[in-house]
Structure formats: C-alpha cells, structure tokens
Chain A
Amino acid sequence: MDGSGLPQFIATGITQGAIYALVAVGFNLVYSATGIINFAQGEFVMLGGMFAVTCYSMLHLPLALAVVLPIAAVMLVGAGVHYFTIRPLRRAHLLTLIMVTVGVSVALRGLAKVVWGADAYPLPPFSAGESLSLAGANINPQSLWVMACAAATGAALTLFLRCTLQGRAMVACALNRRAAQLVGIRVERMHMWAFALAGGVGAIAGSVLAPIALPSYDVGLALALKGFCAAVLGGIGSNAGALLGGVLVGLLESLGAGYVSSGYKDAFAFFVLLLVLLLRPSGLLNVPTRREER
C-alpha cells in the first residue's frame, strides 16, 4: 500500500469489496435457481486463480488466454459438482444439499493442495501502467479491472435473469420447481447451468484477483465466508445488493484494519454477518421456504 490515510483505505476496501461482490454474485446465481447456498463458491474462485497461473506460468500461454480458459474450465467444474454431488441427491432436503456443498468445498481444497502444493503463484497485472492517483489514494490498474469485472458481471447476470427466456426459466425453477417442470423446463439441466455459471463467475473473480493476492489452495474459505457476508448483507438473490454488500464488507474490513487493528481484519466481516443475522434473521431463515414442499 503506497498511499496512506482514509482515501487509500477506501480504495483498498472498494477493490477488495468488488471481489467479495463477485463471490456474492456467484452465491446468488446458484441460490436463485436452486435455493441452495453453495459453499464451494470460494473454491471456484480459488480454482479460477490456480488455473490462470497454471496456464500462464507453467503452460506459458498468453495472458489473455490464461485468463479466459479458466472460465470455461471452472464452468465445467461447476457443472461436474452439480452432476456428481447435487443431482444424485435431488430428493434430499435443501439443508442436506447445503451441507454437501461444504463437503465439496473441503474436497476441492484438498485436491488443489495435492495438485498445486501449498505454494502461492503469481500472475502479472492485466494491463501495465502507472497507478492512478485520485484524491490522495493510489489505485493500481488491476484494482480498476477488479471493479469493472464485478460491475459488468453483476449487470450481465441481472440482465440474463430478468430479460432472457433461459434466465426467466432459471428463476422459475427456484420459485416453483413443480410448475417449472410442468411448463416443460428441464429443472435439473437448469440447476446444472446455474452451477456452471457460478463456476464461471468464480473463475472471473479468481483470475482478476490473482495479480493482487497470489492464489493458493486455501484462499477459497475466507472468500466464501466474506462473499456470503456480502450476499446476506445485500439481501441474498439480488445482484445489486451483492455489489453493495461486497463493497460495504470490503470497506469495513479495510477501515477496521487501518484504524482499529489489522489483526482483527477478518473479524470485522464476521461481526457484520452476526449483526445482520441478529437484526434481520428472516433473510436467512427464509431460505428453505423459498421452495415448495415436495
């Protein structure tokens, strides 16, 4: 961190918050279609980052390719997670499925450790150039990439869910699974696409974050928890809320670390989560009732 003081804390917070927002958008996507909170979302981000650095530094692919390929790869991982773990349990209770995603997250983390070891790998920034100086804060170009990706992804997904036939169908699956089936929507296939898209969104977050925070096998858990804070804070299911929630969590974390103690950096996000859960518990307890009883 070059700058100091409030402007710099705000810039850092917004950048970090944009990443949390991207994670929250991934949560929203799976939640909107299936009612499941997918705790493997953080691992999708980790895999995106790991695939990107692998493509770049081990396979020596051009940077653009090394950033785009992982999106497709993690989409496949997302679809696979649905196909092999969620689909066989489709008659299980929603809470069971949520627990399954926790298991998937542990498994993916373990696999990543076996494949890549415990080291962190670097990725160069997407564009070269000087840091931007704005109101006393130094904003490096990669931060701008992070913010742009978060805003663009959130907007694109919102458009998709609101304005396209398949997006509406995905929403219909979550609103009423039986009715969706009866109008001819292939609900399982829609769920698979939701997981795949969540994987793609995770990969975008992972590779855009990699030049700022080196990815290693264990970055997913903290990202998932803070992304979850952001999603709950913004109201789960809403992408505008995810962006707002993400930035709020990021700002709080950065300001807390700057003005209170950097030792408690992680605690601030969770403190907010606790507050939200205490003051607006309906936001969370509503989850199982979103789906009709089967």
Chain B
Amino acid sequence: MLPDGHSLLRLQSVRVAYDGVEALKGISLHVNEGEIVALVGANGAGKSTTLNAISGILPLRAGEMEFLGQSLVGRRPDEIVALGITQVPEGRQVFSEMTVLDNLRMGAYLRLRRRDRAGVREDLERILAMFPLLDERRRQPAGTLSGGEQQMLAVGRALMARPRLLLLDEPTIGLAPQVAHQILETIARLREQGTTILLVEQNVLASLRVADRGYVLETGRVVLEGPSEELLRNRDVQRAYLGKDYEEV
C-alpha cells in the first residue's frame, strides 16, 4: 500500500518554537506501518511538542513532515485527523460533562460529518466490546470515571476516527501501576489489530518493552535511536532513565 522506501510517517529536521523558545531543534524520525515507536526523554525534552507538531496544533519553524508520502506542513488539525493521524492527548482530556457514548461519537466527528453512520455504529460497538468497563458506564458523564477509565475512553475516542497512526501522549501518567499495565496491554493489543502507534512515555522501561523501536530526546534533539532491546541495553539510557525504574519494578 505504501510506496517503496516510504515510512508511514517521516519527520525531517523539524524545528518548532513557541513563546520565543525553540522546543524542537531539528528532530528527524520515522514510523513504519505496523510498528510501535516510543519517544522517551525527560520533561521538556520535546516529546509532547513533537506530537502536537504532527497533529497540526503547533506550527513548524522549519523542516518537513510526511504522512503516506503527503506533506503535513501547514495543514490544520482537522485535516490531519482526516488523513488518518489521531492523538490521545496528555491528561486524557475527555469531554467531562458528556456521556461516555457522546465522547466516543465525538471521536468520529469527521466520519459523522461524512454521514458514515453505519460504520460509526459498528465501531462504537467494537470499541465498547474492547473496553467492557466503558460499556457498563456508557451513559455516565465522562468526568465521573476513574483515571484509568478516562484513559481508556480517550484511547477509544481516538480509535473512533479509524486512525492509521495513533499518537499516544503519556497514556499511563498518574495511573496506579496495575492500571498502567492494563493500558500498556491495550496498546500491544491495538498493534496486533494493525494500528501503528507513536508512543510518548515518561515510563521509559515500560514503553521500550512494548515498543519495537525508540528515540531518546534531550532538549529538543534526538540523541539516541534504535531497536528497543538495544536502547534498553544502552549504558547511557540505563544511567539516565532506568536507574529509578529498576528499583520500582
């Protein structure tokens, strides 16, 4: 389906600045179809900024972004969703006063505008089957759900757009270890179903364990990249990010 030699997503020397500070100083990365790619690094390294640049929320100062061989530069957020990239934002950001069902329907906003009602209804049932906890609470306002349930709702809402590439921003942050584990299992399951995922995580160990490849970001630059096992064995990664994690696990 993809032209030869093309990744699903490719970023080339992407620079992004906001409030006068350059947050991304030339990021290059790619995501192949069917992969889980992890973006790891400390706070302020530019992980979320990268996702927001891809989603069209932050404008590029320089560089090139391509999805399926088409440039993403200068496109509006809704155009990027329509192309097949959906982001699950950090902090879940569910529509708290809307019901679970309404949140999921909103995820399919662009498809509903195209009157794909049958397809949306089908996906709604599929996603509720995938997250039985959400199904039980389908008529409850999203704000009344627990943190883990809200995260599942945010993922479900993003899936309602039928993305080819899912951007996940800190999906386990603030969740109890057991719940975080469930979320990571969900991510692995999504990949089995054919969704490509770009994952941003503060939990370096856990994210590299589910990911195929990873990029290590430091102050707006990629300082390391490679297959996950390689990164996990890397001395610098172990020293900088995993010291604490090893004790916790």
Q: Which residues does A use to contact B, with CB under 8 Å?
A: 165, 168-169, 171-172, 175-176, 178-186, 292
Contact = CB atoms under 8 A, between A and B. Distances in A.
A168 B98 contact: yes
B106 A169 contact: yes
A168 B109 CA distance: 10
Chain B CB within 10 A, most for which of A168, A176, A182, A185: A182
Given A165-B112, A168-B98, A168-B102, A183 B107 contact: yes
B95 interface: yes
A184 B89 contact: no
B154 to A, nearest CB: 8
A182 B158 CA distance: 9
Given A172-B106, A181-B55, A182-B81, 12 more contacts: A165-B113, A168-B105, A169-B106, A169-B109, A175-B98, A176-B94, A180-B95, A181-B77, A184-B77, A185-B78, A185-B106, A185-B109
B89 A186 contact: no
B110 interface: yes
Contacts, number: 66
Nearest to B76: A186
A183 B89 contact: no
Band of interface residues on B? 20 to 34
B47 to A, nearest CB: 16
B237 to A, nearest CB: 30
Contact of A179 (B76, B78, B93, B161): B93
B228 interface: no
Contacts of B105: 168
A67 B156 CA distance: 47
Interface in B22-45: none
B175 interface: no
Contacts of B55: 181-182
B57 interface: yes
Interface of B: 55, 57, 76-78, 81-82, 86-87, 89, 93-98, 102, 105-107, 109-110, 112-113, 157-158, 161
6 contacts: A168-B102, A172-B98, A175-B98, A178-B89, A181-B55, A182-B77
A284 to B, nearest CB: 18
A175 B96 contact: yes
B81 A183 contact: yes
Given A172-B98, A184-B161, A292 B93 contact: yes
Given A165-B112, A178-B89, A183-B106, A172 B77 contact: no
A183 B95 CA distance: 11
Contacts of A181: 55, 57, 77-78
A186 B96 CA distance: 19
A245 B158 CA distance: 39
Given A165-B113, A169-B109, A179 B98 contact: no
A192 to B, nearest CB: 15
The list of the 4 closest CB pairs from A to B, nearest first, reads A184-B81, A179-B93, A184-B78, A184-B110
Contacts of A185: 78, 106, 109
